[in-house]
């Protein structure tokens, strides 16, 4: 990797993180208002029902059966109404909660799509998948359940205390005095839970990465080739045991605190009955029903308070997850579309580099140092030079994977930074050195070049790329699934799929990144014929280590150390006797025949009387 992506700065304190997470609910304000109203009504009805229990007790001791029946009917109506409203509350809660999750997943996925290539070159795939899947799923409970529990507990605590003060202010005041004793332990436990949660998810991400790397087709074959099954099993077991230990520590972190809360909540009603009973027996204004109601209300106070204590640890643990998610959302995109960006209409394909300077790490070693050249429409430009010279970087900037620090890359006279990203993508197509195929049908992989293409257009692209003989041999033709990363196809077949994609896309500018580097001579010739069809009428930028593939280029640029050290045609560069000529001699000094044999007789300078067998000219 040539450089590192600047990581986002810490997103702030845990409460700032939770405040930012709460901002995700902003588009669902109306639903939240309905949810709050439903929670308020159901909580109030529940506590009114508790108060009715006390009245029913008093009616039992000094009232009538008719009065008891009336109270029971009211109580029954409250219970049924609360149950029905509870169903509506659950529905609204899920609509709001799942809406927030959809927004979070979509925002995270969209932002990842906009991140520069450097992010994906330095970040393991398993780590990315862990944050998008595991972390987002883990915060789902906080979004869909914790908020409702928190609001319900706050409402229950508030309304219960109001009713308790109405019954007996001395007992109510004693209850309020005891509650703050839970504050400090709650904060301490929350901090510990947050730290353990963060460690657990980091370890989980490492395990996901190992699984993604070793259980893929290529990874599995590598493990088997070197007999590393035991090694990988030991690595997985170590990670698995670490997750187990962290999970136990996380679950036990607040167990003593929760036990104390539950124990106290169970003892309080006994204290109320003892104290209230003494008051009733002493002729105080409290009735037996009041004591029963007060004892039940204490459960509605300490129960919600215990829930709030537990939710505090849950929220602080969720803050660790939101921190990991927001870290990705805060990563700089680097390549952005300007508000006034221009859409290219009917692009011609004129390409120009104007004094382009670029380093993968700003201030670091330059990958391109003052590169300038022009490639009018229909021109074939070849990039050659030693490894690390800057050839691939030229194509990256042309496709706007990165932006130069100085200078400009132009298409049809427009700086690519002034164009919409979709315009650049539509104008420049590429056949990359390593062809990536999806685990899908051959037709779906080709259609990725133009999603709206018809079946006939896909078939025509396959024919033009020389794939039809393969299609006829496959059991399901174009509908045959090619396997993960196209593992069922050979290297040459995968490259022809890439060519078919580019033919279907039909871009004015084409990048051929060493498209024949891994093929034998026969397949190279077949691919060359397919690329000749593809390159016809287009501006083509070719990268190749095989100089035989670029001898027919209109312009050859020789790069070394990020600079263009030579430029010209094949014959002109051979005559100069510089780096190009040296590379040419190194490749063909041991051959018994010149690479131009079969295309015409060559003299000692490489002059060819007939058409050379390089990338064919339209």
pLDDT at position 600 is 35
**8 Å CB contact between 262 and 306:** yes
- The confidence score (pLDDT) of residue 295 equals 80
Q: How much is the average pLDDT of 419-447? A: 87
CB 14 within 8 A of CB 322: no
Which CATH superfamily does the domain covering 351-434+507-588 fall into? P-loop containing nucleotide triphosphate hydrolases (3.40.50.300)
Q: Is the pTM of this model over 0.85?
A: no
* pLDDT value of residue 323: 83
Q: Where are the domains of the chain?
A: 14-329, 351-434+507-588
Helix segments in 408-564, DSSP class H: 421-427, 442-447, 455-464, 468-473, 491-505, 521-535
Q: Which of 368-372, 428-432, 437-441, 543-547 has the lowest mean pLDDT?
A: 543-547
pLDDT value for 592 = 43
Rounded to an integer, the average pLDDT of 16-22 is: 78
Contact (Cβ atoms closer than 8 angstroms) between residue 478 and residue 465: no
Spatial separation of the C-alpha atoms in residues 87 and 85, rounded to whole Å: 5
Whether the domain at 14-329 and the domain at 351-434+507-588 fall into the same CATH topology: no
pLDDT at 331 over 50: yes
- Cβ-based neighbour number of residue 602 at 10 Å: 19
- Sort residue 8 into left (φ over 0), alpha (ψ -120 to 50) or beta: beta
Residue 429 has pLDDT above 50, yes or no: yes
Mean pLDDT computed over 367-376: 95
Q: Which is it for the CA torsion 329, 426, 370, 614, positive or negative?
A: positive
Lowest model confidence (mean pLDDT) among 142-151, 352-361, 373-382? 142-151
Report pLDDT digits (tens) over 332-349: 888 888 999 999 888 999
* Domain 14-329 falls under CATH 1.20.1560.10: yes
CA distances from 594 to 524, 581, 608 (A): 16, 14, 11
Confidence of residue 99 (pLDDT cuts 50, 70, 90): confident
Residues 252-271 have pLDDT tens digits of: 776 666 676 666 666 777 77
């Amino acid at each position: 990797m040539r450089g590192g992506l600047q990581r986002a700065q810490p997103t702030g304190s845990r409460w700032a993180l939770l405040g930012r997470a709460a901002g995700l609910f902003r588009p669902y304000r109306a639903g939240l208002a309905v949810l709050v109203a439903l929670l308020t009504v159901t909580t109030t009805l529940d506590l009114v029902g508790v108060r009715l229990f006390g009245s029913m007790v008093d009616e039992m001791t000094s009232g009538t059966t008719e009065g008891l029946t009336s109270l029971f009917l009211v109580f029954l109506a409250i219970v049924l109404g609360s149950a029905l409203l509870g169903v509506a509350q659950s529905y609204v809660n899920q609509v709001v909660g799942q809406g927030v999750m959809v927004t979070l997943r979509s925002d995270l996925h969209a932002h990842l799509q906009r991140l520069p290539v450097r992010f994906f070159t330095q970040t393991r795939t398993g780590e990315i998948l862990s944050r998008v899947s595991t972390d987002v799923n883990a915060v789902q409970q906080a979004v869909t359940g914790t908020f409702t529990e928190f609001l319900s507990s706050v409402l229950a605590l508030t309304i219960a205390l109001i009713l308790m003060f109405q019954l007996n202010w001395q007992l109510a005041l004693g209850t309020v005095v005891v509650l703050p004793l839970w504050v400090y332990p709650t904060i301490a436990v929350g901090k510990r839970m947050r730290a353990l949660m963060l460690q657990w998810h980091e370890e989980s991400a490492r395990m996901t990465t190992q699984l993604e790397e070793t259980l893929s087709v290529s990874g599995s074959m590598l493990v088997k080739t070197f007999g590393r099954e035991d090694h990988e099993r030991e690595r997985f077991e170590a990670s698995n045991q670490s997750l187990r230990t962290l999970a136990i520590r996380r679950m036990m972190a607040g167990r003593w605190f929760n036990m104390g809360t539950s124990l106290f909540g169970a003892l309080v009603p006994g204290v109320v009955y003892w104290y209230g009973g003494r008051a009733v027996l002493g002729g105080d204004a409290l009735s037996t029903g009041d004591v029963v109601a007060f004892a039940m209300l204490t459960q509605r106070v300490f129960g919600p308070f215990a829930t709030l204590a537990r939710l505090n640890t849950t929220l602080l643990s969720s803050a660790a997850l939101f921190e990991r998610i927001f870290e990705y959302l805060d990563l700089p995109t680097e390549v952005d579309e300007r508000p006034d960006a221009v859409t290219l209409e009917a692009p011609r394909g004129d390409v120009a580099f104007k004094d382009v300077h670029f380093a993968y790490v700003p201030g670091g070693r330059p990958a391109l140092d003052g590169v300038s050249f022009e490639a009018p429409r229909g021109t074939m430009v070849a990039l050659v030079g030693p490894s690390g010279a800057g050839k691939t970087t030229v194509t990256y900037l042309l496709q706007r994977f990165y932006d130069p620090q100085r200078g400009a890359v132009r298409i049809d006279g427009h700086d690519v930074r002034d164009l919409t990203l979709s315009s650049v993508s539509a104008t420049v197509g590429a056949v990359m050195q390593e062809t990536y195929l999806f685990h899908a049908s051959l037709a779906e992989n080709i259609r990725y070049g133009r999603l709206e293409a018809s079946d006939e257009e896909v078939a025509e692209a396959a024919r033009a790329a020389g794939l039809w003989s393969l299609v006829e041999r496959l059991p399901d033709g174009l509908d045959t699934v090619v396997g993960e990363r196209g593992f069922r196809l050979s290297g040459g077949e995968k490259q022809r799929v890439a060519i078919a994609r580019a033919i279907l896309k039909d871009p004015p500018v084409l990048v051929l990144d060493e498209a024949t580097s891994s093929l034998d001579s026969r397949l190279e010739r077949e691919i060359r014929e397919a690329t000749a069809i593809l390159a016809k009428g287009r501006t083509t930028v070719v990268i190749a280590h095989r100089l035989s593939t670029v001898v027919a280029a209109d312009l050859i640029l020789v790069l070394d150390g990020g600079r263009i050290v030579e430029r010209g045609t094949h014959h002109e560069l051979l005559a100069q006797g510089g780096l190009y000529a040296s590379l040419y001699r190194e490749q063909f000094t041991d051959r018994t025949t010149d690479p131009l044999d079969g295309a015409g007789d060559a003299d000692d300078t490489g002059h060819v009387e007939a058409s050379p067998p390089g990338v064919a000219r339209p």
